[in-house]
């Protein structure tokens, strides 16, 4: 006797085919007994175009939404939940710098529906006519009163809302305390001096003009956002002196820090939190001279091909329940009071996410001029090719 899970033999298949052709069995019997019915059902399910589309509460917003964002920046389970609720698949494009996002949008036809610009870039996007004013009626979960204005201000330009806050953070550095011989590390001066000496070959800086040049400027006590020629020349000299001592110039620093090749790297809040969670000897430090504080936003580019799905995704991610899961996954603080009400107490008191006030006071938001200043861009290129 043949068990059900065995495939049909060739001979039996032919016999069934003849029976079907002669009309002695029904089509249903033939498909069932040969397994062809099951096979076409499986294949049909694997080809999205053949699958019947269920009806969704939010109405039909199309089958996909394209999101341009940063690495390690979302909880993938939330995207799955979005797809389940709306039928739209979230296609994620990951980027390395705001400059690169701007370059893609300037070149046109990105296909993005939602992207995640940082505070200092938004006026440039508005000036270049690359993003649309947001239709707040499509984002009912956005409650402007719930946000700390420090982290939501930059979303409005000339009184019009162009972007809603995602989360915020700081730019400091991570250091492996196994190699510091108990010396307290707390400044950008130490970061660069150690690089040239005992940490030679073990330090990483970002492949990103804003933070690499900005933090080199802080070594001298200049503004993080300086575009002053003399000050930039000092920063360039420092960076070029350090270059032979660097392990790498890269914004993908977690792997090298984790495997022990690099001992110190410029880092953002969430990466500092993720590394410190897994390896307590890695600490996250804010330079006492200052540095960057920033806020990231959701925005919709002009001509978004799946505009309705883009708005639906922003609204979904701003739902406090969903946003709280996002924060737990990426380790960056949210500025939304509704979201914070749902987060565990120890996360809201975490010194990496919420640094002490005197450290925060020294930080600066990035300035729009750094994004488009040709001298800073050329300085970075000279440093990399030196």
Partner 1 sequence: MTQRTRNLLLLAPAGTWFLVMLVVPLTVVLVFSFGERGAAGGYVPAFTLEQYANLPARWAAFKNTLILAPVGTFAALVIAYPLAYYLAVKASPKWKTLLLVLVIVPFWTSILIRSYAWIFLLGGRGIPALLEWIGIEGVRLINTPFAVLVGIVYGYLPLMVFPIFVSLDQLDKRLLEASSDLGATKLRTFLQVTLPLSLPGIATGSLLVFILLMGEFLIPALLGGGKVFFVGNALVDLFLQSRNWAFGSAVAATLVIIMLVSVTLYMRLISKLGAQREDVSLM
**Phi, psi at residue 353, to the nearest 5°?**
-70, -40
With CB under 8 A as the contact rule, which of the stretches 100-108, 154-162, 183-191, 233-241 interacts with partner 1?
Answer: 100-108
Figure out which of the listed residues 38, 85, 341, 386 binds partner 1, where binding follows CB under 8 A. Answer: 386
Q: Binding to partner 1 by residue 102, rule CB under 8 A?
A: yes
- Say how far residue 140 (Cα) sits from the centre of its chain: 23
Supply 309's token pair. 């799905």
Figure out which of the listed residues 65, 74, 82, 99 binds partner 1, where binding follows CB under 8 A. Answer: 99
Figure out which of the listed residues 60, 198, 281, 378 binds partner 1, where binding follows CB under 8 A. Answer: 378
Question: Closest CB to partner 1 among 91 and 372?
Answer: 372
User: 205: exposed, middle or buried (C-beta count within 10 Å: 0-12, 13-18, 19+)?
Assistant: buried
Separation of alpha carbons 237 and 225, rounded Å? 17
User: 306: exposed, middle or buried (C-beta count within 10 Å: 0-12, 13-18, 19+)?
Assistant: buried
Q: Binding to partner 1 by residue 335, rule CB under 8 A?
A: no
Contacts of 122 (CB under 8 A, 6+ apart): 131, 154, 155, 157, 162, 163, 297, 299
**Phi, psi at residue 47, to the nearest 5°?**
-105, 105
Q: Binding to partner 1 by residue 178, rule CB under 8 A?
A: no
Q: Looking at residues 209 to 248 of the shown chain, list those that interact with partner 1 (rule: CB under 8 A).
A: 209, 243, 246-248
DSSP 67-83: EEE-TT-S-HHHHHHHH
In the complex, the smallest distance separating the C-beta of residue 258 from partner 1, rounded to whole angstroms, is 10
Q: Binding to partner 1 by residue 380, rule CB under 8 A?
A: yes
Question: Closest CB to partner 1 among 147 and 208?
Answer: 208
Closest CA to 195 of 239, 246, 268: 246
User: Do 134 and 300 meet the contact criterion of CB atoms below 8 Å apart?
Assistant: yes
Q: Give the burial string for 12-46 (b: 16+ CB within 10 Å, else e).
A: ebeebeeebeeeeeeeeebbebbeeeeeeeeeeee
With CB under 8 A as the contact rule, which of the stretches 34-42, 92-100, 297-305, 311-319 interacts with partner 1?
Answer: 92-100
In the complex, the smallest distance separating the C-beta of residue 261 from partner 1, rounded to whole angstroms, is 4
Q: Binding to partner 1 by residue 259, rule CB under 8 A?
A: yes
Letters for 103-142 (x = contact with partner 1 by CB under 8 A, - = none) are xx-x-----------------x--xx--------------
Distances (CA, A) of 173 to 18, 212, 292, 340, 358: 74, 11, 11, 25, 17
With CB under 8 A as the contact rule, which of the stretches 52-60, 149-157, 214-222, 370-378 interacts with partner 1?
Answer: 370-378
Question: Closest CB to partner 1 among 139 and 175?
Answer: 175
Letters for 38-77 (x = contact with partner 1 by CB under 8 A, - = none) are ----------------------------------------
Binding site for partner 1 (CB under 8 A): 97, 99-100, 102-104, 106, 124, 127-128, 201, 207, 209, 243, 246-250, 255-256, 259-261, 371-372, 374, 377-378, 380-382, 384-386
């Amino acid at each position: 006797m043949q068990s059900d899970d065995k495939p049909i033999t060739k001979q039996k298949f032919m016999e069934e085919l003849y029976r079907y052709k002669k009309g002695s069995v029904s089509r249903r019997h033939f498909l069932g007994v040969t397994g062809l019915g099951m096979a076409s059902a499986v294949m049909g399910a694997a080809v999205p175009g053949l699958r019947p589309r269920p009806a969704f509460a939010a109405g039909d917003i199309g089958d996909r939404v394209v999101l341009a964002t940063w690495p390690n920046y979302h909880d993938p389970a939330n995207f799955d939940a979005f797809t389940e609720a709306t039928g739209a698949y979230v296609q994620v494009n990951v980027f390395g710098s705001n400059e690169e996002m701007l370059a893609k949008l300037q070149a046109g036809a990105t296909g993005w529906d939602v992207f995640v610009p940082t505070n200092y870039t938004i006026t440039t996007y508005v000036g270049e006519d690359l993003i649309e004013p947001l239709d707040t009626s499509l984002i009912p979960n956005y409650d402007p009163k719930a946000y700390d204005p420090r982290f939501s201000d930059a979303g409005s330009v000339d009184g019009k809302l162009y972007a809603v806050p995602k989360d915020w953070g700081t730019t400091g550095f991570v250091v492996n305390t196994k190699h510091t011989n108990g010396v307290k590390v707390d400044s950008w001066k130490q970061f660069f001096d150690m690089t040239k000496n005992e940490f030679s070959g073990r330090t990483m800086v970002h492949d990103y003009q804003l933070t690499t040049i900005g933090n080199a400027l802080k070594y001298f006590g200049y503004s993080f956002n300086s575009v002053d020629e003399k000050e930039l020349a000092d920063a360039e000299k420092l960076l070029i002196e350090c270059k032979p001592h660097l392990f790498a110039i890269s914004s993908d620093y977690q792997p090298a820090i984790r495997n022990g090749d690099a001992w110190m790297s410029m880092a953002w809040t969430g990466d500092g939190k993720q590394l410190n969670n897994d390896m307590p000897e890695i600490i996250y430090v804010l330079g006492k001279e200052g540095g960057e504080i920033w806020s990231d936003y959701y925005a919709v580019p002009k001509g978004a091909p799946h505009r309705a799905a883009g708005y639906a995704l922003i609204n979904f991610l701003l739902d406090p329940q969903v946003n709280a899961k996002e924060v737990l996954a990426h380790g960056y603080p949210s500025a939304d009071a509704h979201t914070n009400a749902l987060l565990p107490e120890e996360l809201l008191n975490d010194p990496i996410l919420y640094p002490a006030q005197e450290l925060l006071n020294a930080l600066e938001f990035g300035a729009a001029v750094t994004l488009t200043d040709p001298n800073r861009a050329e300085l970075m290129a000279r440093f990399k090719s030196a």
